[in-house]
């Protein structure tokens, strides 16, 4: 459908299998570019600014490894609960604590996406509100032990068991919570010219 991208080599600058899967439904042929950056940012930035900064940081690093005519997509997703950013947990204990924090409450998932083409960087963000039912400690322990969500911001994947049994409402893009706001990305990619 994105005929304007024919003849343009597309890269996804992400290690996320979820982003790879989602982008594959928009663009059947692309390459994954592993980009390693130190995710350090100014403490005075807002959650939206942090997500955008990290996505752009990845794009700037990725630019060094592609041709000017190529197109690079990078993204960063953060989970915010009461203005506190919940990153990727480093242990099962931290994952359990994060899920207890999110239990019975609403939080925001913010994804920033950067498109880099002809060395022009364009970034947008998407915000989705997600509400969890009160989760029992047994449900949280089961999820963490079975699904090992240490690679996910906020310690959960909405597409996994915990999302199916725990999410009571969502306002915004479901795919944003998975890490890539596909509909918005599609609209942005339609504007890319050779």
Q: What is the pLDDT of residue 53?
A: 98
Domain count, the chain: 1
Positive or negative, the CA dihedral 125, 129, 135, 139 is negative
Q: Are strands 106-117 and 120-132 parallel, antiparallel or unpaired?
A: antiparallel
Q: What is the pLDDT of residue 193?
A: 84
Q: What is the pLDDT of residue 171?
A: 99
Identify the residue whose tokens are 């939080």: 107
The domain that holds 42 is classified in CATH as 3.90.950.10
Buried b (16+ CB within 10 A) or exposed e, 31-60: eebebeeeeeeeeeeebeebbbbbbbbbbb
Q: Which positions are annotated as active-site residues?
A: 76
Alpha carbon distance 146, 90 (integer Å): 16
Phi/psi for 12 (5° steps) reads: -105, 115
Q: What is the pLDDT of residue 146?
A: 98
The reply to whether 124 falls in a domain is yes
Q: What is the pLDDT of residue 104?
A: 99
Alpha carbon distance 99, 136 (integer Å): 10
The reply to whether 26 falls in a domain is yes
Q: What is the pLDDT of residue 1?
A: 78
Contact 47, 108 (CB under 8 A): yes
Contact 101, 134 (CB under 8 A): no
Torsion angle, CA of 125/75/17/102, rounded to 10 degrees?
-50
Q: What is the pLDDT of residue 194?
A: 73
Could you tell me which of 142, 156, 141, 147 has the C-alpha nearest to residue 107? 156
pLDDT in tens, the chain (194 residues): 799 999 999 999 999 999 999 999 999 899 999 999 998 899 999 999 999 999 999 999 999 999 999 999 999 999 999 999 999 999 999 999 999 999 999 999 999 999 999 989 999 999 999 999 999 999 999 999 999 999 999 999 999 999 999 999 999 999 999 999 999 999 999 999 87
The reply to whether 194 falls in a domain is no
Q: Are strands 10-13 and 71-81 parallel, antiparallel or unpaired?
A: parallel
The reply to whether 63 falls in a domain is yes
Count Cα atoms within 13 angstroms, Cβ side, for 151: 10
In the DSSP assignment, the letter for residue 138 is: H
61's tokens: 């690093």
Residue numbers of the domain that contains 184:
3-189
């Amino acid at each position: 459908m994105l005929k304007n991208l024919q003849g343009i080599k597309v890269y996804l600058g992400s290690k996320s299998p979820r982003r790879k899967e989602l982008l594959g439904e928009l663009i059947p042929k692309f390459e994954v570019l592993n980009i390693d950056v130190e995710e350090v940012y100014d403490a005075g930035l807002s959650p939206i600014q942090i997500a955008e900064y990290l996505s752009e940081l990845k794009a700037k690093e990725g630019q060094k490894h592609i041709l000017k005519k190529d197109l690079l997509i990078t993204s960063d997703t953060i989970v915010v609960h009461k203005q506190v950013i919940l990153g990727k947990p480093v242990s099962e204990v931290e994952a359990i604590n994060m899920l207890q924090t999110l239990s019975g409450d609403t939080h925001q998932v913010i994804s920033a996406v950067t498109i880099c083409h002809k060395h022009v960087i364009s970034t947008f963000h998407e915000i989705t509100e997600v509400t969890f039912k009160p989760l029992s400690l047994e449900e949280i322990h089961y999820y963490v032990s079975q699904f090992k969500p240490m690679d996910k911001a906020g310690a959960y994947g909405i597409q996994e068991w915990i999302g199916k049994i725990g999410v009571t409402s969502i306002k915004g893009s479901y795919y944003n919570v998975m890490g890539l706001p596909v509909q918005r990305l599609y609209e942005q990619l339609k504007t890319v010219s050779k």
